[in-house]
Amino acid sequence: MNAPNDSAIAGLIDAARQARENAYAPYSGFRVGAALLTADGRIFTGVNVENASYGLTSCAESGAVSSAVGAGVRDFVAIAVTGPDNGVPCTPCGSCRQILHEFAPNLLVITEAASGAVTTPLRELLPQAFGSGNIQRVEGR
Ligand code: THU
């Protein structure tokens, strides 16, 4: 699939905003929704799920990846991430950048700024990334 056009981007942001309704963020109040667009045009969503332990919190982006991979889909084109409607782009945290890179080094990351949607290649957010290509697989392990 080609890079999403403006209407596909708007649809993906909308899906992330809808997902955000189900975010579980009673501790931070910082509700996040993510919508992952797959190469075959499907959309998988995720939300942040906080935990009383704080440290066990999981991010919206990793939830969307788990949902897609669990459905047997690993070919991703773009992800939209929506945090609070404060005009500040909610870019994926470092850990989520690495999780996204595992499956889609060429992913486009779409966030919302006060001026509208911002599209940034994951390669810019995670330069010189460590990935599967760095690992020498050994037969039998
Ligand atoms: N969070 C996400 O879900 N995704 C991000 O990209 C940034 C942070 C969540 C984790 C936590 O529940 C809350 O936002 C505040 O950090």
Contact (CB, 8 A) for 60 and 47: yes
pLDDT at 140: 65
HSE of 35 in the Cβ direction (CA atoms, 13 Å)?
Answer: 25
Contact (CB, 8 A) for 126 and 96: no
CA of 67 to the centre of ligand 1 (A): 17
Residue 102 bears catalytic tag: no
Give the pocket of ligand 1 (CB within 6 Å): 25, 28, 30, 32, 48, 50, 57, 59-61, 81, 90, 92-93, 96
Contacts of 126 (CB under 8 A, 6+ apart): 94, 97, 98, 101
Nearest to 63 by CA among 24, 111, 8: 24
What is the identity of the amino acid at 83?
Answer: G
pLDDT at 1: 72
Per-residue pLDDT of the chain (141 residues; tens, 9 = 90+): 778 999 999 999 999 999 999 999 999 999 999 999 999 999 999 999 999 999 999 999 999 999 999 999 999 999 999 999 999 999 999 999 999 999 999 999 999 999 999 999 999 999 999 999 999 766 665
Atom 4 of ligand 1, residue of closest alpha carbon: 59
Ligand 1 mutation pick, 27, 93, 110, max ligand atoms within 8 A of CB: 93
First to last CA, the chain: 35
Atom 13 of ligand 1, residue of closest alpha carbon: 30
CA of 48 to the centre of ligand 1 (A): 6
